[in-house]
Homo-oligomer: A and B are copies of this chain.
Amino acid sequence: MLYRHNSDELDNTLLALADPTRREILAHLSRGEARVTEVASHFPISLNAVSKHIRLLERGRLIQRRIQGRDHFLCLRPVAIVAIQEWLTHQQHFWQVNLAAIADLLDAGIPPSPHTSKRKKS
């Protein structure tokens, strides 16, 4: 990625989501704000490991931190999710065109060639 350092925001958001522990942290925070130690207590990994996950979630703009004394309260920050959904919706425009084309072929009785559709191996 030496030749491209725009779109970092979406990168960071998607990367932060691409880990089951971090998604679980988000799920916990969806039930209300919590301190770092509270969050960490639900995971079999070290507090420090959770602290690192939280940093990545912040980098992805998925959570935010409010420091009060020695406690760091975390809460969700839904802005980034909207950005992802916008991107997905934009992509899906093309993808659904693709899907529609496949459906048309099937509808016309053309046998599904190995590429255009593997459609439900069901």
Contact = CB atoms under 8 A, between A and B. Distances in A.
Contacts of A7: 20, 23
Interface in A57-91: 64, 66, 73, 75-78, 81, 84-85, 88, 91
Interface string A84-122: 110010011011101100000000000000111111110
Contacts of A120: 32
Contact of A15 (B4, B18, B88): B18
A66 B85 CA distance: 29
Contacts of A99: 78
A95 B32 CA distance: 10
A115 B33 contact: yes
Contacts of A36: none
Contacts of A81: 88, 91-92, 95
Contact of A76 (B26, B27, B95): B95
Nearest to A94: B30
